[in-house]
Amino acid sequence: MSNDNPAEPQSGVGAEKPQHDEPEVRRQGQPTDPRETPPQESETVIVAVSSAGPAGEPIRAVSPAERKRMNRREMLKLVPVLAVGAFAVTKFRQPLLDEGLHFSDWASGKLFGRHRPAQTFSNRDVVPFDRFPYNFYDVADPGVDLEKWTLTVQGLVQRPGEYKLEQIQALPKFVQNTRHVCVEGWDVIGNFGGTRASDFLQLIGADTGARFLEVECVDGYYESIDMETVLHPQTLFCYEMYGKPLDRGHGAPLRLQMPTKLGYKQAKYLDTIRVTNVLQADKRGYWEDQGYSWYGGL
Amino acid sequence: MATNAAVIKPAEITTTVTVAYEHPWIVRVAHWLGAVSVVVMIGSGLRIFRAFPSFGPKIPQQDFVHIPGQFTIGGWLGGALQWHFTFMWIFVGSGLMYLIYQLVTGHWRQVLFTPRDIKGVWPMARHYFLFGPKPAADAAYNPLQKLAYTSTIFFGVMSTLTGMVLYKPAQFWWLTWLMGGFHLTRIWHFIAMCGFVAFIPGHLIMVALHGWNNFYSMITGWKRDPEYLG
């Protein structure tokens, strides 16, 4: 310790007063706290009073044994960091990640505004039809017989059964320019037309107090959506894109279109819908069952 | 500085070491949680980016860069999203913990880079990278350190806000608008990641240069024989 010590407490930025409240800085001549000096070690514990460093760091001169104790005590406070190490253990990793995803989905549901609209765009912003990607998990065209197609309605509804496309199209049509966001990261603004899902749910007498809408598709794809999103005013049973009937690549004759959900939730080639309070563990959604977020909200 | 010299006389007390309490536990916990989570966020983020490594349209797709799989976490897009959506809470949580601590204690004054520090950056960089003379230190952190640490806070806030837009563009519609839309926000999010990628090697080199004792104080808080006491 040299005499030309730069540790003048008044010199540093923000060093007008000792800023660390722990441990306290003792002034010269002030007796050490008897609680910190066990009798049997009173000679070797704190043998010098302290000053503060340039940033107000409390400074102590201690015995090597006391330094070890201080270090150990401080290391114990880092236990929360070690907890993160559980992710390195193979056995715990996937359950922890599932919990993380589950928590994020829960928070997403809490954040969702049931009347908050997703942004809509002018026709100028809509991407040309030939640049709206065809995305499918299996085949671009599962060969739906459009003449004979009906939508099967099941579950907690007053009027289950088979519904023709004309019955759906008889309901008020809504057309919207909205952003379609893929989980991969790309996005396109498209033009979509169809029936509000909430209108159709009214037509079939659905219990809108139920929690989920399950959908099954002609190509074997399947999805489930939270009822809040189904009832959102921009959630459509979509049968038109760019003013023309949905083509086979985009899910003819009927698909889901929800600007508040990611692309993989927007099931195409709808075959069956079911209003339910219970989701089967391995039937939450084609991608969700492989690890994607179930909520998938925007 | 007569007072210190009068108080601490190592020549007389042979069995003592001088230690300075540099980092309170809350800063150390935030540092290590932040360090782990930022690595996970970058690794999983790169795997997510691999699914569509472009900032342009989907049709026609022109890849911006190829990210080798070894630099990524999660194994596939879905796995990477699980890591990203889990560690985002730890990342933001540790960041908030740190920021609140700095605000409450007023210590932010030691770390925040201000226009006054601009002129001190080059001499410090010259010292570290071009073997120039060491500028006199008169504060807790030198201007280069302040620039580095303030930048990481900026990148942390930036990656959080842009991440909120990418995660929930419809719910945070006002933030989406502020960032110039969803599509542009992917670029801001990527730039914030690049900021961390630029910081980390420099930070690690500095830690290596300053040795074990300096590193140890980020674990126990106590630094042995602090250099500023001569």
* Span B55-74, average pLDDT: 92
Range of the domain at B90: 2-55+64-229
Tell if the CB–CB gap between B13 and A47 is shorter than 8 Å: yes
pLDDT digits (tens, 9 = 90+) for A113-134: 999 999 999 999 999 999 999 9
Q: What is the mean pLDDT of residues A17-35?
A: 44
Residues 135-194 of A with CB under 8 A from B: 179, 181-188
Kindly calculate the radius of gyration of chain B based on its CA atoms and give it in whole angstroms.
21
Q: B138 vs A118: CB contact, 8 Å cut-off? A: no
How confident is the model over B134-192, as pLDDT tens digits?
887 777 788 888 899 999 999 999 999 999 999 999 999 999 999 999 999 999 999 99
Are B85 and A101 a contacting pair at CB < 8 A? yes
Sign of CA dihedral B162, B163, B167, B168: negative
Q: Give me A114's structure tokens.
A: 């049931």
Report pLDDT for B14: 61
Chain A residues within an 8 Å CB radius of B86: 96-97, 99-101, 103-104
In one-letter notation, the amino acid at residue B10 is: P
Q: Residue B230 — very low, low, confident or very high, per pLDDT cuts 50/70/90?
A: low
CB A188 within 8 A of CB A131: yes
The model's pTM is 0.86
pLDDT of residue A14: 38
The rounded percent of chain B whose pLDDT value lies above 70 is 93
Minimal CA separation from A170 to chain B, in Å: 29
Strand partners, A152: A162, A272
Is B52's CB within 8 Å of A185's CB?
A: yes
Q: Are A187 and B183 in contact (CB under 8 A)?
A: yes
Cα-only R_g, chain A: 32
* Yes or no, beta carbons of B48 and A185 under 8 Å apart: yes
Q: Does position B36 have pLDDT exceeding 50, yes or no?
A: yes
Distances (CA, A) of A55 to A11, A129, A224, B23: 9, 62, 57, 11
Q: What is the largest CA-CA distance in chain A?
A: 98
Mean per-residue pLDDT, A206-232: 96
Q: Which long-range contacts (CB under 8 A, 24 or more apart) does A45-51 make?
A: A47/B13, A47/B15, A47/B16, A48/B7, A48/B8, A48/B9, A48/B13, A48/B16, A49/B7, A50/A25, A50/A26, A50/B7, A51/A7, A51/A9, A51/A25, A51/B3, A51/B4, A51/B7, A51/B8
Q: Does A95 touch chain B (CB under 8 A)?
A: no
- CATH of residue B125's domain is 1.20.950.20
- In this model, does residue A15 exceed pLDDT 60? no
> What does the alpha-carbon distance between residue A113 and residue A231 come to, in Å, rounded to a whole number?
11
DSSP 8-state code for residue A157: B
Contacts of B6-9 spanning 24+ positions with Cβ under 8 A: B6/A28, B7/A28, B7/A48, B7/A49, B7/A50, B7/A51, B8/A1, B8/A48, B8/A51, B8/A61, B9/A1, B9/A48
**Chain A: closest CA distance from residue B144 (Å):** 15
With cut-offs at 50, 70 and 90, classify the pLDDT of residue B44.
very high
Mean pLDDT comparison of A20-29, A207-216, B124-133, highest-scoring range: A207-216
CA distance A258 to A164: 22
Judge: A2–B221 Cβ closer than 8 Å, yes or no. Answer: no
Do residues B21 and A55 lie in contact, with contact meaning Cβ atoms separated by under 8 Å? no
Mean pLDDT of B6-31: 76
| Local confidence band at A261 (pLDDT 50, 70, 90 cut-offs) | very high
Domains of chain A: 1-77 (no CATH), 112-290 (3.90.420.10)
Of the partner residues A5, A111, A182, the one whose CB lies closest to the CB of residue B5: A5
Q: Look at chain B and report how many structural domains it folds into.
A: 1
pLDDT above 80 (res A3): no
User: Could you say which of A57, A64, A80 has the minimum Cβ distance to residue B15?
Assistant: A64
Q: What is the mean pLDDT of residues B8-33?
A: 80
